[in-house]
Amino acid sequence: MKLIAVNGSPRKKWNTATLLEHALKGAESAGAETKLVHLYDLDYKGCISCFACKLKGGKSFGKCAVNDDLAPLLEEIRTVDALILGSPIYYGDVTGEMRSFLKRLLFPNPIYVNDLKEIPTF
């Protein structure tokens, strides 16, 4: 079993990171291969709504096409058995880094039109 924990906190040794580390230790004790990623170590932006992930037949269909520090992590996540997300709550929501990560992780999955062959104009 392979597991990745994603820390959305800017602090690598405080509460969120500590909780993620404890979860990973528990998984390791059960034989899992684990990895902890600190989002604030990566240089990336949120989804740019390029729709490359939506174009059927395109090389990026179903995955984010933006090539930055987040791209290798998104590819690795496609191969894991479990994903643990951790973020402090600021103003009633996850951190901006976590939110940007989630947009890039999740936006490629929904399909809006069955045969999307070109970028839609609105």
pLDDT tens digits for range 66-104: 999 999 999 999 999 999 999 999 899 999 999 999 999
What integer pLDDT is reported at residue 118 of this predicted model?
58
Question: pLDDT tens for residues 24-53?
Answer: 999 999 999 999 999 999 999 999 988 888
**pTM of the complete model:** 0.83
Please give the class, per CATH, of domain 2-106.
alpha beta
End-to-end CA distance of the chain: 43
At 5, the pLDDT band (50, 70, 90 cuts) reads very high
Amino acid letter for position 62 = G
Q: Where are the domains of the chain?
A: 2-106
Helices in the chain by DSSP H: which ranges?
Answer: 15-29, 70-77, 96-106
